[in-house]
Every structure is written in C-alpha cells, then in structure tokens.
C-alpha cells in the first residue's frame, strides 16, 4: 500500500479473532464434553478480552471419527453440543456483545454416516456419483495416494464392491465436486447458514476439492503420497469462484480458506474479487518449518527451526501479497502443538515468551487468530502411551510406522508425538485451580493438563499476566490504525535473536522489537532513528525509553511510536 492510496477498510481486517474447539472449551451440563451453552456462558469472557470474531470449530451432527470434522448432517447440531436453539442463543449473545461468528465449512468430505454416502453406497440414482468410487480388486487400491490420517487414501466398500477415496480418515469419504448436484447441495447448505445471520466461514482443507482427471499416481517422496496431484487441482478456482458467486458474494461475510501448501504467489488467484473472492488464507509455510523433510510425521529432522527462516516466511507474506489482499496471522490452532511450547519457552520463560508471541500476533499486518488457551499460556502436555491419545492423525501415523516395521512401539516415537501431536491443543480449557480446572463437573472426555493449578484463567487475570498482555495488545490494535493497515518493513533479516519491524501508515510509524531468544541481545539498528521513540507497551516491568544500544532481556519485547 502506498501512502497516497486510500485505505481499503474492511471490518474483517480490523477484528481480533478467537478460535474455539467446542469439545474442550466449557462443559455446562457435567457430561465431560464441552458444549454450546458452555460457550454462551463465556461470551462475556471473550468480550472482556477484546475479541470481535469467534471461529467455532464444527458443531454439526457427527459420529466423531475426527471430532466433528466428519459431518453426518450439515444442518443439525451434534447432540453432545446441544440443539439448534442453543446455537441460535449463542449467535444472539455474541451479536449482543458485537462479536461476530464464523462457522467451520467442511466440504472436502463428509462422514461415512452422512445420508449422501449411505445413498451412494447403495447406488441410489441421484447419489451414485456424490463420492469418488473406483473399480478394482479388493486388495489393490486404484492409485497410490495416501491419507493424511495414515494408510491408503482408498477403502474397499463391500456393499458397493468398489473403492472409495478418503484423503483423511476412512470415515471421511471425499465428495465428488465434479458432480454439479454436489455443488448445488453444498451451495444451498451454505446459504442456509448464511441466512441464519452468521458472519462467515473458515473453510476446511479446501485446496483438495479438485482431483485431476484419471486420478494419476503421485510422488511417493511426498507425504501423503499424491499431495502433488490432488492439492490445488485443475478446477479448484472454478469451484471456489462458483461457490462465492452463489453464496458469499451476496452477504457481508468473511471467508478464510485453510490451504496447506499454498505459496504467496498462488494466493492472489484465490483472494479478492479479482481471484475467487476469498478474503484470507491459512497458509502452512511456518507450520512446516520444524518438521522433517518427509512431512509432519517424519521421524528424522524435526524440532529445529531458525528465526531467520521464520522471519523470511512471515515477511514474504507481509510484503508480497497483492495490494488488496490480506493475511490471516496465526501460530497455532486445534491441529498444532501449543504455541508457547513450540515457538516460545514453556519452562523458564513461559510468561515472557507467551507475551512475545502475543505481540507478534497482534502487531503484524493481517487479522490475528488466537486459539483458546493461548491467552493464558497453556502448554503442551505429556503423552505416555498410544492409549492416551485421541487424535486419529497421530494414532494413524504411529500405526503406519509400526505396520511398516519402522518402529516397534509408541516409545520409539514418543518424543516426536510429544512435540507434534494435535492432541496438545485439545486438552480442556483451564478456567480455575479447582477440580477439572473448572472445565466440567463430570469426567472430562480428555485429560486436563497437569499444570492447571498454576495455569488457569482465574490466576491469569491478575497482575502483569499473559492474559492482561493480550488484552492490552488487542486494545492497542483497536486504537492504532497503523497496527492494522500500516505497511510492514523488516530489519535485520538474518539476526537469529531479534525480530524487528516497523509498521507505517502516513506519518505514523510504530517499531516492534522482539528478542525471540532466551539470551540477552543488544538492539543496534542504525537504519532506525529512535531518539524520539516513545515506548507504548513492553513485556518486562521496566521498558527502556530509547531502545538503541539497549540490551533486551530473554524474550523481551518493546513497541515504540517513532
Ligand atoms: O485440517 C486439514 C489438514 O490436516 C491438512 O490440510 C494439512 O495438509 C495437514 O494437516 C498438514 O499437516 C483440517 C482440520 O483442521 C482438521 O482438524 C481435520 O482433521 C481435517 O481438516 C479433516 O477435516
Ligand atoms: Ca456438556
């Protein structure tokens, strides 16, 4: 954005978003499972933090093979979570607090218990081609594609005597988007939700909906095999643009597409009116930094990442998106480890580093997405057995390695699991120091992390806490337009300790200094004139006036008006 260009103001660029994994947020009826009334009870809590947009992970009717990402009925609510009336009450309560609501749109696949799949299995005329069915001997899948949940992406169905495709769990068959009737049904379902007055969608795994003609074999070096051919397939833009024109375009809503494997060069074709009409992308480039070359579950080469590389990725997205395109900023979600454990230091510098991550999330250019529990610095937990895990992806990968003979047991990958499992972010929210962290009065569906007596919302709302730091940062972003719309400029790209950038809008410049390390470092950047620097917010008790030549303590941050 150049200075003389008018600012393209949009409400969804200005909001701070918060993601809820309903199963693990707050249980209102003591059955051990978080639910919608439990969320409604906490709307005031979200409001006090300063949240203006809530992304609700799937709450639709589901047999829970993948905790709700396997949808049995798009137009009803999961029994465990409540009723459609509960959902309406949540929406009303959110809107009363000026918090917008976006739902999770999962349309790459359905549950195998969805009516469409049941009908398709029986070859009932309209539904016969709703999924990917292929002939072939029961011991030989139609191609070499692998599933994200481990094993082949194909399962042989005895009833139909054919193979069906599932890029995720075998209980998540892929919808056949080539079939116009499938696209019609999806568009009407989307419109049904939009008519209820929601404010948009986070769109799940949408880069996989277009499969290439002939379903050719993929590169076996990649994980899962086939991702090179089924990712960003040939008709993806056609399908997305059509969906946009038929649905989102008619409402004042926001859409964020989850698309692993998207580069900044590809983004423009998806984003904005001149693309497919999408507003933002959750890209994965920074999520792929600390995984081995063979992907997330590669047992070699995981766990290391360099700040210089991280900065290079984030800065590329900050500066190379098209003029009118916009970023979604995130460090974690329900599929990733806890951010303070992964990108900070969850021991000696938990408070400082959690505040540093908060500063990063709220001062770079894009809409920040916080994940439940990050505002109190919730950490990874420790998994000690296969039985202690819930996530089908983690379990699937361990089972694959055992089946291949690569490992003998869980113990051989225990460290990797404890680094990477999606289960870390799914432990229940820690509200109070009392039994079950105040999450439930019953038996929690998944164990509460052991540190809940120390780390919980009640404890975190007093003093110079992580929670209060998030609240201040959110308020600051609401107050300073430069933090939303200002241009981003990186300094010291190669520095492995300091992440330093400015944000500039018109006459106003804000400097952000992050010591992203557990060692002190001196800030010395001749290119930035700091004599009149006015400190706005730091994460240590006493922040320096002029940062120049000053030592920044471990994970210390400073925000300055220049
Ligand atoms: O995740 C999508 C997903 O897992 C892939 O897009 C991604 O390539 C992979 O994680 C890379 O490591 C979404 C949901 O967020 C997740 O919870 C679901 O399990 C999945 O889709 C299936 O619906
Ligand atoms: Ca409940």
Cβ–Cβ < 8 Å for 374, 354: yes
E runs forming strands in 204-279: 254-258
Name the residue of 167, 201, 205 whose CB sits within 8 Å of the most ligand 1 atoms, as the mutation to test its pocket. 205
351/541: higher pLDDT: 351
DSSP tag of 136: -
Give the number of whichever ligand sits closest to the CA of residue 426: 1
* Calpha distance 204→239 (Å, rounded): 14
Decide if pLDDT at 59 tops 60: yes
Q: Is 279 in the pocket of ligand 1 (CB under 6 A)?
A: no
Q: How far is the CA of 405 from the centre of ligand 1 (A)?
A: 26
Q: Is 537 in the pocket of ligand 1 (CB under 6 A)?
A: no
Catalytic residue among 174, 258, 335, 375: 258
Query: CB burial class (10 A; 0-12, 13-18, 19+) of residue 446?
Result: buried
Q: Is 148 in the pocket of ligand 1 (CB under 6 A)?
A: yes
Other CB atoms closer than 10 Å to residue 185's CB: what's the count? 18
- Which pLDDT band holds residue 274 (cuts at 50, 70, 90)? very high
Give the number of whichever ligand sits closest to the CA of residue 256: 1
Select from 519, 482, 483, 484 the least CA-distant residue to 498. Answer: 519
> Which protein residue has the closest C-alpha to ligand 1 atom 10?
335
Cβ-proximal residues to 394 (8 Å cutoff; 6+ apart), any chain: 417, 420, 421, 422, 423
Q: What percent of the chain has pLDDT over 90?
A: 96
- Which pLDDT band holds residue 4 (cuts at 50, 70, 90)? low
Decide if pLDDT at 5 tops 90: no
From edge to edge, which strands make up the β-sheet containing 154-157? Answer: 133-134, 162-165, 154-157
Q: How far is the CA of 27 from the centre of ligand 2 (A)?
A: 4
Atom of ligand 1 nearest to the CA of 66: 19
Give the number of whichever ligand sits closest to the CA of residue 38: 2
Strand-pair category, 73-77 with 100-105: unpaired
Decide if pLDDT at 362 tops 70: yes
Q: Give the count of alpha carbons within 13 A of 528, CB side only.
A: 27
* Calpha distance 23→242 (Å, rounded): 33
Q: Is 260 in the pocket of ligand 1 (CB under 6 A)?
A: yes
Q: What per-residue confidence (pLDDT) applies to 3? A: 53
Query: 55 - beta bridge partners?
Result: 19, 102
Sequence-ordered alpha helix ranges (H) in 364-445: 392-404, 414-420
Other CB atoms closer than 10 Å to residue 173's CB: what's the count? 28
From edge to edge, which strands make up the β-sheet containing 487-491? Answer: 487-491, 498-505, 508-515, 557-561, 534-538
* Mean pLDDT within 197-222: 97
Q: What is the pTM assigned to this prediction?
A: 0.98
CA dihedral 288, 289, 290, 295 (to 10 degrees): 30
From edge to edge, which strands make up the β-sheet containing 200-203? Answer: 280-282, 254-258, 200-203, 100-105, 53-56, 17-20, 367-371, 328-329
Decide if pLDDT at 243 tops 80: yes
* Calpha distance 536→559 (Å, rounded): 5
Q: Is 204 in the pocket of ligand 1 (CB under 6 A)?
A: yes
Decide if pLDDT at 2 tops 60: no
Other CB atoms closer than 10 Å to residue 214's CB: what's the count? 8
Q: What is the pLDDT of residues 305-323, one digit of tens each?
A: 999 999 999 999 999 999 8
Q: What is the pLDDT of residues 428-455, one digit of tens each?
A: 999 999 999 999 999 999 999 999 999 9
Q: How far is the CA of 66 from the centre of ligand 1 (A)?
A: 10
CA dihedral 296, 301, 306, 311 (to 10 degrees): -30
Give the number of whichever ligand sits closest to the CA of residue 71: 1
- 479 to 7, 97, 486, 562: CA distances (angstroms): 16, 19, 13, 16
Decide if pLDDT at 389 tops 50: yes
Atom of ligand 1 nearest to the CA of 169: 22
Decide if pLDDT at 371 tops 90: yes
Active site residue 556: no
> Which protein residue has the closest C-alpha to ligand 1 atom 14?
204
* Calpha distance 386→395 (Å, rounded): 7
Q: Is 296 in the pocket of ligand 1 (CB under 6 A)?
A: yes
Cβ–Cβ < 8 Å for 75, 189: yes
Decide if pLDDT at 1 tops 60: no
- Which pLDDT band holds residue 545 (cuts at 50, 70, 90)? confident
Decide if pLDDT at 515 tops 50: yes
Atom of ligand 1 nearest to the CA of 207: 6
Q: How far is the CA of 74 from the centre of ligand 2 (A)?
A: 20
Secondary structure of residue 135 in the 3-state scheme: coil
Q: What per-residue confidence (pLDDT) applies to 543? A: 79
Active site residue 258: yes
> Which protein residue has the closest C-alpha to ligand 1 atom 1?
205
Q: What is the pLDDT of residues 108-141, one digit of tens each?
A: 999 999 999 999 999 999 999 999 999 999 999 9
Q: How far apart are the first and last CA of the chain?
A: 20
Q: What percent of the chain has pLDDT over 70?
A: 99
Atom of ligand 1 nearest to the CA of 295: 12
* Calpha distance 177→64 (Å, rounded): 23
Q: Cis link prior to 224 (omega < 30° from 0)?
A: yes
- Average confidence score pLDDT of the chain: 97
Tokens of 485: 């719309």
Q: How far is the CA of 203 from the centre of ligand 1 (A)?
A: 11
Q: What per-residue confidence (pLDDT) applies to 542? A: 84
Residue carrying the six token digits 């480890």: 337
- Which pLDDT band holds residue 324 (cuts at 50, 70, 90)? confident
Q: Give the count of alpha carbons within 13 A of 392, CB side only.
A: 18
């Amino acid at each position: 954005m150049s200075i003389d260009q008018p600012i393209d103001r949009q409400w969804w660029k200005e909001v701070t978003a918060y993601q809820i994994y309903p199963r693990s947020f707050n249980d209102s009826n003591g059955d051990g499972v978080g639910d919608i009334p439990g969320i409604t009870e906490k709307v005031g809590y979200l409001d006090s933090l300063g949240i203006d947009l809530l992304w609700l992970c799937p709450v639709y009717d589901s047999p829970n093979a993948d905790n709700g990402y396997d949808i049995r009925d798009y137009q009803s609510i999961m029994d465990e979570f409540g009723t459609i009336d509960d959902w309406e009450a949540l929406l009303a309560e959110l809107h009363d607090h000026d918090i917008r609501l976006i739902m999770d749109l999962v349309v790459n696949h359905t549950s195998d218990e969805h009516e469409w799949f049941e009908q398709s299995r029986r070859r009932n005329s309209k539904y016969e081609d709703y999924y990917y069915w292929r002939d072939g001997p029961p011991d030989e899948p139609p191609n070499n594609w692998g599933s994200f949940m481990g094993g082949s992406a194909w399962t042989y169905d005895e009833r139909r005597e054919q193979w069906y495709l599932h890029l995720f769990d075998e209980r998540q068959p892929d919808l056949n988007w080539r079939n116009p009737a499938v696209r019609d049904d999806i568009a009407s379902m989307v419109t049904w939700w939009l008519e209820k007055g929601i404010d948009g969608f986070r769109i799940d795994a949408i880069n996989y909906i277009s499969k290439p003609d002939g379903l050719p074999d993929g590169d076996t070096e990649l994980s899962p095999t086939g991702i090179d051919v089924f990712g960003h397939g040939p008709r993806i833009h056609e399908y997305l643009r059509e969906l946009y024109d038929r649905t989102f375009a008619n409402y004042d809503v926001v859409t964020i597409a989850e698309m692993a494997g998207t580069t900044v060069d590809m983004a423009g074709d998806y984003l904005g009116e001149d693309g497919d009409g999408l507003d933002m992308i959750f890209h994965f480039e920074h999520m792929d930094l600390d995984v081995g070359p063979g992907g997330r579950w590669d047992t070699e080469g995981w766990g290391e990442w360099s700040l210089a590389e991280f900065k290079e990725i984030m800065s590329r997205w900050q500066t190379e998106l098209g003029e009118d395109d916009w970023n979604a900023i995130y460090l974690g979600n329900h599929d990733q480890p806890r951010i303070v454990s992964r990108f900070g230091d969850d021991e000696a510098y938990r408070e400082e580093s959690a505040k540093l991550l908060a500063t990063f999330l709220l001062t770079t250019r894009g809409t920040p997405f916080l994940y439940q529990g990050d505002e109190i610095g919730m950490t990874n937990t420790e998994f000690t057995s296969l039985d202690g895990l819930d996530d089908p992806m983690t379990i699937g990968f361990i089972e694959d390695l055992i089946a291949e003979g690569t490992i003998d047991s869980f113990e051989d990958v225990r460290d990797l699991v404890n680094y990477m499992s999606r289960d870390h972010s799914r432990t229940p929210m820690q509200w109070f120091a009392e039994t079950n962290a105040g999450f439930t009065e019953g038996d929690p569906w998944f164990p509460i992390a052991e540190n809940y007596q120390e780390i919980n919302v009640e404890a975190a709302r007093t003093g110079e806490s992580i929670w209060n730091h998030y609240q201040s940062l959110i308020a600051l972003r609401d107050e300073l337009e430069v933090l939303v719309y200002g241009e981003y400029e990186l300094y010291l790209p190669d520095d492995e300790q300091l992440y330093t950038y400015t944000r500039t809008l018109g006459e106003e410049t804000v400097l952000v200094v992050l010591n992203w390390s557990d060692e002190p470092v001196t800030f010395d950047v001749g290119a930035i004139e700091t004599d009149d620097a006015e400190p706005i917010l730091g994460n240590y008790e006493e922040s320096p006036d002029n940062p120049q030549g000053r030592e920044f303590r471990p994970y210390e941050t400073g925000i300055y008006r220049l």
